[in-house]
Structure 1
Amino acid sequence: MPTSLPPDAPMLVLAAPGSVEGVAAEIAAVVRVDNPQIEVRLSSLAELAGTLPAGRDAVVVPLVTWADPMVMAEIGKAVAASGSGAVVTEPLGPHPLLAEALHIRLAERGLARADRVRLLNVSSPVDAVILGTAGGEQAVGAVQPTAVLLASRLTLPVVAASLDSEPGVAVAAQRLRAAGAQRLAIAPCLIGHEAPEGIVAEAAASIDAGHAEPLGAHGAIAELVARAYGSQLAT
């Protein structure tokens, strides 16, 4: 990301699939602090068409970890309705930074070691991790690369599963325990506004597993937003 930009540089518009308060507002604040040279706006999908600037370029970054077709379609409709010619970036995942943030969220709950090196005389806090996502079977398929990246960091089995549809985390837990993994944890591959509050805790309780917090305003999310914007400047 350039340290300075011309006055007519594209605006960065964050498109949140849920409320613009809470997590989305926190992410926007971190992006502004880390990148003061960029004008940043935050919008819900419903208000996106009116948020996009007239007569000025804009880069829309969806605040999602996978290309949810409903979210991406709504963004596309809003851009078309605005007549702004704004460019829409890819979602924030899959990406190694996303796996890093998931690892840290697990470590914060004591469900993973903070270091990346497995020592033979140190046991892992859990035997396997379920990467929880929202959006059904399509979401599960989309986050598989992130599951592979996280498994590489943890050197543990990581299985993606849906938090909001069947077959879900219960089936994933059953398969992992049948394979010998008794201590499980759920790592939600969610920023925090994509699913009902409490869905992760409920899923974890249903399978007697620990769980990490959603990604929220982790610095890696803000960095991915800046990278998405910067990649459009480069083109």
Structure 2
Amino acid sequence: MTVSDLPPRPGPPALVLVAHGSRDPRALTTVRALMDRVRALRPELSVHLGHIELNEPPLPDTLAALGGTPAVLVPLLLARGHHVKRDIPEAAAAAQAPTRVAGPLGPHPLLADTLHARLLEAGWRRRPASAVVLAAAGSRDPDARADTGRTARLLAERLGVPVVPAYASAATPTVADAITALRAKGRHRIAVASCFTAPGRFATQCARHAPWLASAPLGAHDAMAALILHRYGQARETPVTAAA
């Protein structure tokens, strides 16, 4: 048998970005731009998109279209919670081919890098009596709150000012309450860091509370694309979810 007679080596698993979904049309545009960043960094990968709700294509449809192609699902979510722990693994288990599930994007230093960059773009500079509220979606899951707290600490290390995690729903403190508490401690220059993957209702609501400035959502940043590929690589080393 010659080298040319050998069967072709299988390619890497497909990378499926799993977005939450939003009624805000900017969200889908942002996620697609982030996909383009990922493809530019790893052109050999087959990159796809699936949504948990609200947008097309739904994640089960994306996996069905892949058929027998192995895949790694990378949640575009920033902390652990119900979607990461239940919904996405259940979709992976129902796939036709071996499918792995990566961890959420946060906490991680690359996520903090992106938050820092977005704040700088919005005009943030360290000043006396400054602080930051890290605005996240919120979850009743204590692991999700722990992850957001860790992200806040990573961002505080970069900024050199207090960073307080706060939430749009399902957890406390709210963004407004966090701002009030910081003001009571003499922090008068308060920025809101948007810990959301893409624009949407929660990101917009949280930004409105900013007494100084609010950063844009994380979006199609190079560090986000690098973080997605990092999670993809980590997941490839984990056991495969058995196909149904």
* Same fold, TM-score > 0.5, yes or no: yes
- Aligned: 1:189 with 2:195: yes
Q: In the alignment, residue 192 of structure 1 is paired with which amino acid? A: A
Alignment equivalent of 2:99, drawn from 82, 86, 92 = 86
Cα offset, 1:10, TM superposition:
0.7
Q: Residues 134 and 194 of structure 1 are in contact (CA less than 8 Å); yes or no, is this contact kept in structure 2?
A: no
Q: In the alignment, residue 17 of structure 2 is paired with which amino acid? A: L
Cα offset, 1:34, TM superposition:
1.1
1:126-205 paired onto structure 2 within 5 Å: 127-136=130-139, 138=141, 139-165=144-170, 166-192=172-198, 195-196=201-202, 198-204=204-210
Q: Under a length normalisation based on structure 1, what TM-score does the superposition of the two structures give?
A: 0.84
Cα offset, 1:210, TM superposition:
1.4
| Structure 2 unaligned residues grouped into runs of 5+ | 1-8, 239-244
Corresponding residue for residue 89 of structure 2: 76
Cα offset, 1:92, TM superposition:
0.6
Q: Residues 137 and 202 of structure 2 are in contact (CA less than 8 Å); yes or no, is this contact kept in structure 1?
A: no
Q: C-alpha separation between the residues in 2 aligned to 1:137 and 1:13? A: 26
Cα offset, 1:26, TM superposition:
0.9
Cα offset, 1:74, TM superposition:
1.8
Q: In the alignment, residue 187 of structure 2 is paired with which amino acid? A: A
Corresponding residue for residue 40 of structure 1: 47
Corresponding residue for residue 3 of structure 1: none
Cα offset, 1:228, TM superposition:
1.0
Cα offset, 1:105, TM superposition:
0.5
Corresponding residue for residue 220 of structure 1: 223
Corresponding residue for residue 116 of structure 1: none
Cα offset, 1:126, TM superposition:
6.3
Q: Residues 110 and 125 of structure 1 are in contact (CA less than 8 Å); yes or no, is this contact kept in structure 2?
A: no
Cα offset, 1:197, TM superposition:
5.5
Q: C-alpha separation between the residues in 2 aligned to 1:194 and 1:15? A: 16
Secondary structure of 1:22 counterpart? helix
Q: Residues 72 and 99 of structure 2 are in contact (CA less than 8 Å); yes or no, is this contact kept in structure 1?
A: yes
Corresponding residue for residue 33 of structure 2: 26
Cα offset, 1:198, TM superposition:
1.9
Alignment equivalent of 1:230, drawn from 226, 230, 233 = 233
Aligned alpha-carbon RMSD (Å): 2.1
Q: Which runs of 4+ in 1 moved over 6 A?
A: none
Pair 62,80 (structure 1): closer, same or farther in 2 beyond 3 Å: same
Q: C-alpha separation between the residues in 2 aligned to 1:212 and 1:196? A: 13
Alignment equivalent of 1:58, drawn from 71, 74, 80 = 71
Q: In the alignment, residue 201 of structure 1 is paired with which amino acid? A: A
Pair 98,42 (structure 1): closer, same or farther in 2 beyond 3 Å: same
Q: Deviations over 1:78-129 (max 9, x none)?
A: 22232333100000110111111111101001113xxxxxxxxxx6276100
